[in-house]
Amino acid sequence: MDTLVAMGATAAVLYSLYGTLNIFAGDVHFAHNLYYESAGFIITLILVGKYLEARAKGRTSLALKKLMKLAPEEATLIENGVFRTIPTEEVHPGDLLLVKPGEKIPVDGLLVKGATTVNESMITGEPLPILKKPGEALTGGTVNGEGVIEMRAERVGSETTLARIVKLVEDAQGTKAPIAAMADRVSGIFVPSVLAIALGAAAAWFTSGASFEFTLTIFISVLIIACPCALGLATPTAIMVGTGRGADMGILIKKAAALELAGKIDVILFDKTGTITEGKPRMMECNFYNGFSERRALSMAAAVESGSEHPIAAAILAYAKEHGASWKMAEGISADSGFGISGRTDGVNVALGNVEYMNKHGIATLEAASFEQSFTMTGGTTLYLAVDGKLAAAFGISDRIKASSRNAIEKLKRLGLETVMITGDSEPSAKAIASEAGVDRAVWRILPQEKDAEVRRLQSMGKKVAMVGDGINDAPALARADLGIAIGTGTDIAMESADIVLMAGDLGGVEKALSLSRATVRNIKQNLFWAFFYNTVGIPIAAGLLAVFGGPLLQPMYAAAAMSLSSVTVVFNALRLRNFS
């Protein structure tokens, strides 16, 4: 980008040296046609512009610097009841740490003793402190509230959430959006084109009878005013500010291409469990059949579910425990993903699953039909328990939608997006949740492996698809979608597969992420427009357009000032994104 300025300033200095030699030789005519001060002034103006640029660009990475400062330098290690202050980098997984009120959590880990509130706003963007009890996760860099707590370190160093966020933001700021390719292509042919224009304009004036000094001024001014600094700054500065502002708001944009893709999305798919809903199903109702008691049925259900990590399994186990049931893990447990699970306990065969799972195993569920019909109309899921081929119980399990989901989806619809919820639930349950959340359409009875296929089906219709999810089974669909958005409270695999990660656990961040992306791309286009507009107007003036009609000639020093101003203008326009909310 500095090639044109360097050539212009060098031409001025070389001509001035030539003039100086002629003056020493006795030709005083050159005494009034030296350009030393112009060359010096040009370089001074360029340096002043670069300084202002550097100051402004330094502000674009302010969010990243703030993130890096969140990590505390020291931690209090508990060893054999003795407290010892150590550098945070010396903390190892498994270490027991003490955190006092007002201190920063040193690393990621689990709360093992005490209760407190933790301010996680620097990670999630959510302003309200979160109540933490023993067994709950703590994130390094967040601020402990009023309680004295002990925690067990789990992830340290580069594995902490904060370190990974910093790495993601650094990587994103170093990537290019597809729109930048246009600027790169233009810059590739820009310099030789400007050289041709400068030589052509100078030659035209010289052949028309203009003096050599006038011709040289034209040549130098065109080279300097056309320096494509503004063009080169248009995209990267906006990306740096946009991704930095996103990090402030708990929105991690992992690559610049995601910024541009967000503005092209037609339809947005939502996983239901953990994305639209809280992801914490609870047992709400249960009926028992064929003489099975509550405690016996719950014990058998818990026996087959005790080996599962599924949220529904957790709901059944919690309910069984609350109601005094006891159990031991069943033998020969076999799961049919999306349908049910079976095993053997206390000498009997136990099967637990949805109506399709029961039908598959030839187990009649007619007795519980009215229970299922009434419960699924409220958006709940019905599971059946069968023992040795006989229906033993029907469980009504419900997962409430998040408080923010309906409002967030409404905002997305106002952006002109079609909203679709995909779930493995039955049709009545899916429709009830979809209606409550306000999505345009629901797709039900979708198995985990079929989410990817649904994304491909929509893409085959020519639509640009965004997928929002949080679980391991969402990872293929997140990777397949044109834009993958992971809820940060979900699994690491989902976050790795996504293009954008929302550190807060609600859908409000989806609308903010898409709006920020659109604002960033809009800012890039504004920058590119002004960079092109500036050159379109500036080059003809520098080439002597005004002089043709008797106007003044643009002097090189004014061309340098205009060029510097254009670069600074582009950077300050990008900085407006820091005010996005």
Q: Which residues are catalytic?
A: 271
DSSP string covering 48-110: HHHHHHHHHHHHHTHHHHHHHHHS-SEEEEEETTEEEEEEGGG--TT-EEEE-TTPBP-SEEE
Q: Determine the Cα–Cα distance for residues 499 and 269; give it in Å rounded to an integer.
A: 15
Report the residue count for the chain: 581
SS3 566: helix
8 A C-beta contact, residue 237 and residue 60: yes
SS3 251: strand
Amino acid type, 40:
G
Residues 6+ apart with CB under 8 A from 470: 271, 274, 275, 279, 486, 487, 489, 490, 491, 494
- The pair phi, psi for residue 351, each rounded to 5°, is -130, 135
Q: Determine the Cα–Cα distance for residues 383 and 355; give it in Å rounded to an integer.
A: 7
Encoded tokens for 367? 């007795």
Q: Determine the Cα–Cα distance for residues 77 and 93; give it in Å rounded to an integer.
A: 12
Beta-strand relationship, 381-387 and 348-353: antiparallel
Interior CA angle at 225 toward 521 and 44, to 5°? 105
Beta bridge partners of 143: 104, 119
Q: 3-state secondary structure string, 480-515?
A: HCCEEEEECCCCHHHHHHCCEEECCCCCHHHHHHHH
Give Rg (Cα) of the chain: 33
Q: H or E segment at 360?
A: helix 355-360
Reference 281, options 242, 241, 308; nearest CA is 308
Amino acid type, 272:
K
Buried b (16+ CB within 10 A) or exposed e, 243-280: bbbbbbbbbbbbbbbbbbbbbebebbbbbbbbbbbbbe
